[in-house]
Structure 1
Amino acid sequence: MAVPDPAAGEIRVRIHACGLNFADLLMVKGTYQDTPQLPFTLGMEVSGTVDALGDAVTGLAVGDRVAVFGGQGGLAEYGCFDARRAVRLPDAMSMIDAAAFQIAYGTSHVALDHRARLKPGETLLVLGAAGGVGLTAVEIGKLMRAKVVACARGAAKLDAARAAGADHLIDAATQDIRTEMKALGGADVVYDPVGGDQFIAAFRSCNPEARLLPIGFASGDVPQIKSNHLLVKNISVLGVYWGGYLQFRPEVVTGSLATLMDWYCDGKLKPHVSHVLELDTVAEGLELLRSRASTGKVVIRLADEA
């Protein structure tokens, strides 16, 4: 394919790395809320170098190192993206870290800070705590001084959650979430990228005035919530779609990313990338997500760093 030319307001990026996300699997099936019209190229978030500028682009220059949430087009050597979605990278951030950063950390920070208003000392239950977004929720929850309970399947995934700062661990394969959470005093905030039976168990372990954050449905089961159960404990359910803020309140995303970049530069955040693969093994990378065999992020490398 020919290298594309940027339109007005766009930048062309020589892509170094692309982070894979569970939403890519939904796009393959055509079930994601923002699935583009066919044909399109997968790859929602990239890191790379600005290679060309379209008309009316200001604040960026050819040669700048950037991360971009484009929503599509990342699994390619070059891509043209809206310049307003580009974030200039600090010198200390590698291209691999940058490709793993925006969606996972951005989702967790907006969810816990902007939506749930997580307070110091509250108990945060993170489901799917070893996944791409789950580990970031553990990290950010600790930075926000919550008591973090990480729920994942198996010792290896729980070890990753412990290393990210979890105070308590629940093995979803062998332990009952509701029983374990009741013993810990119940949940004030639930961060849920899993759905299904785990959501129901977490819901039943909530304290009065708890906040539940549906992030996604990796289990494939979208739980149905009975409103009378919300009423009894004054529980709030707060939907979180990070990319949606770019459409109606982009300042929420830009402000959050500025905070997260500062935390990264201060050494407070360390992206967990379990697999770095090459472009010809994208299918293998997607299967790692589908089978939940990865911890943290899977990143596709398209070019070496200069």
Structure 2
Amino acid sequence: MATASADADQPTSTETCKAIWLVGHGGYDKLQVKNTPVTSPGDGEVRVAVQACGLNFAELMMRQGLYRRSPTLPYIPGFECSGTVESLGDNVTGLEVGQRVVCVPGHGSWSEKIVLKFDHVFPIPDSMSFEEAAAIPVNYITAYMMLFDVAHLSPGKKILVHMAAGGVGTAVTQLARTVENVTIFGTASSSKHETIRQAGVDHPIDYRSVDYEQAVRSISPDGVDIVLDPLGGKDVKKGVNLLRPLGITVLFGFANVVTESKNYFNLAKQIAGFDLGGLFGVPQAKEAATKLLQLYEEGAIKPRIDSVYSFAQVAAAQKRMHDRLNVGKIILVPHKEEEKQDTPTAEESRQGGEMSENMETKKEETKETENEEEAEPNK
């Protein structure tokens, strides 16, 4: 536990808590629930009893060894969580013991208890559930800053968002709907189209059966103003091709690196991206968090919870995200009735680590293919 950085040299007591540790790179078996010493909050710190944690695609990449801002192994993953304030260190202002809060430590959230800086802790409305609170920080702060700080969304703009049924896609849709006359194109499998349409996507596109570039142009021949791309790879080039004059592509993820057979990091370097790893260290992120909690109270946004898994079911939760089955946010909770889930088999667990085992080979392949033209569209 315990601290956001999972440091072992902090003063500890005999008290322990359950936490999910990443002990190596590879399959799902590299995520292990362990008893972990509980630390006390120091100067300017808060200890929180965690009730819910968010699961993000970046944490899949961490398990596979693909995320460049990962701490040194072993460590406790988790960008975000919610819970109740348990104790306060010296010089903490604006928080009270027993207060319901959402936390953005950067790392270390997947623990029953966490110690972090008090200015990374925000009180939540009484009407907000712990699961909803844990779904806010990464997805909604990312969406908010991409739309308004990076892409400068304004009335009348057209947006293409990939993985529109996921956590960030849902957040983008809801936030874009707060601006007048915005047209939203969203890619998702056909089974999710009605859901994303109800959420506010004007034009759902089944990326598995049609070329989304052609689908967008059939409705908007001159393309779109903003492309929000969590995929990377071939889709970077396609996104640029879809831009109207003065349009912008915002690259904020590399899902294709996890699911494709090639590494396209070098291609992605052609475009300035949104760096999730450094998100919580900037003042704009804190301002965005405050604004988002206000928008929730006003009824303008509401996180969609796809499913809730216990810490012991973290492998099944990651597999659901890896297979792109979720509609909305996947949540991890420390305590939950152990109902049967589709837990990965031993063979699936090994397959989950195949990408990280071959990363060095992939990097060499990238150098050879970096300047090649991509003949087939990635739908």
TM-score, length basis structure 1: 0.90
* Residue 149 (structure 1) aligned with residue 185 (structure 2): yes
Q: 2:113 aligns with which of 78, 82, 92?
A: 78
Return the alpha-carbon distance in structure 2 between the equivalents of residues 69 and 225 of structure 1: 27
* Residue 216 (structure 1) aligned with residue 248 (structure 2): no
Equivalence for 2:323: 291
**For residue 194 of structure 1, what is the amino acid of its counterpart?**
L
What is the count of residue pairs matched by the alignment?
292
Q: Do 1:27 and 1:35's aligned partners in 2 also have CA atoms closer than 8 Å?
A: yes
Equivalence for 2:135: 100
- 5 Å-filtered alignment, 1:1-306, equals 1-145=36-180, 146-152=182-188, 154-185=189-220, 186-220=223-257, 221-222=264-265, 224=267, 237-247=271-281, 250-303=282-335
- SS for the counterpart of 2:245 is strand
Q: Do 1:192 and 1:214's aligned partners in 2 also have CA atoms closer than 8 Å?
A: yes
Structure 2's unaligned 5+ residue stretches are: 1-35, 258-263, 337-379
Return the alpha-carbon distance in structure 2 between the equivalents of residues 175 and 241 of structure 1: 30
The superposition leaves residues 186-240 of structure 1 with CA deviations (integer Å, 9 ceiling, x where unpaired) of 111001111223333222121111111001011114462696xxxxxxxxx5421
- SS for the counterpart of 1:268 is coil
Return the alpha-carbon distance in structure 1 between the equivalents of residues 150 and 122 of structure 2: 23
- SS for the counterpart of 1:224 is helix
The superposition leaves residues 37-93 of structure 1 with CA deviations (integer Å, 9 ceiling, x where unpaired) of 122112210000010112221221111111011122222111111111111111111
Q: Do 2:229 and 2:253's aligned partners in 1 also have CA atoms closer than 8 Å?
A: yes
Q: Do 1:177 and 1:198's aligned partners in 2 also have CA atoms closer than 8 Å?
A: no
Q: Do 1:11 and 1:50's aligned partners in 2 also have CA atoms closer than 8 Å?
A: yes
Return the alpha-carbon distance in structure 2 between the equivalents of residues 136 and 84 of structure 1: 24
Q: State which drifts further: 159-168 or 27-36.
A: 27-36
Return the alpha-carbon distance in structure 1 between the equivalents of residues 251 and 269 of structure 2: 15
Change in CA separation of 1:225 and 1:282 when aligned onto 2, cut-off 3 Å:
closer
Return the alpha-carbon distance in structure 1 between the equivalents of residues 203 and 155 of structure 2: 16
Equivalence for 1:234: none
Ranges of 4+ aligned residues in structure 1 off by more than 6 Å: none
Offset of 1:283 from its aligned partner? 1.0
- SS for the counterpart of 2:39 is coil
Offset of 1:155 from its aligned partner? 1.8
Q: CA RMSD in A?
A: 1.8
Q: Do 2:48 and 2:86's aligned partners in 1 also have CA atoms closer than 8 Å?
A: yes
Offset of 1:126 from its aligned partner? 0.5
Return the alpha-carbon distance in structure 2 between the equivalents of residues 195 and 223 of structure 1: 10
Q: Do 1:115 and 1:238's aligned partners in 2 also have CA atoms closer than 8 Å?
A: no
Return the alpha-carbon distance in structure 2 between the equivalents of residues 42 and 246 of structure 1: 15
Return the alpha-carbon distance in structure 1 between the equivalents of residues 269 and 334 of structure 2: 46
Return the alpha-carbon distance in structure 1 between the equivalents of residues 48 and 128 of structure 2: 17
Q: Do 2:311 and 2:335's aligned partners in 1 also have CA atoms closer than 8 Å?
A: no
Q: State which drifts further: 85-94 or 140-149.
A: 140-149
Return the alpha-carbon distance in structure 2 between the equivalents of residues 172 and 199 of structure 1: 15
**For residue 224 of structure 1, what is the amino acid of its counterpart?**
L
Q: Do 1:77 and 1:302's aligned partners in 2 also have CA atoms closer than 8 Å?
A: yes
- SS for the counterpart of 2:48 is strand
Return the alpha-carbon distance in structure 2 between the equivalents of residues 75 and 188 of structure 1: 37
Change in CA separation of 1:199 and 1:291 when aligned onto 2, cut-off 3 Å:
same
Change in CA separation of 1:13 and 1:121 when aligned onto 2, cut-off 3 Å:
same
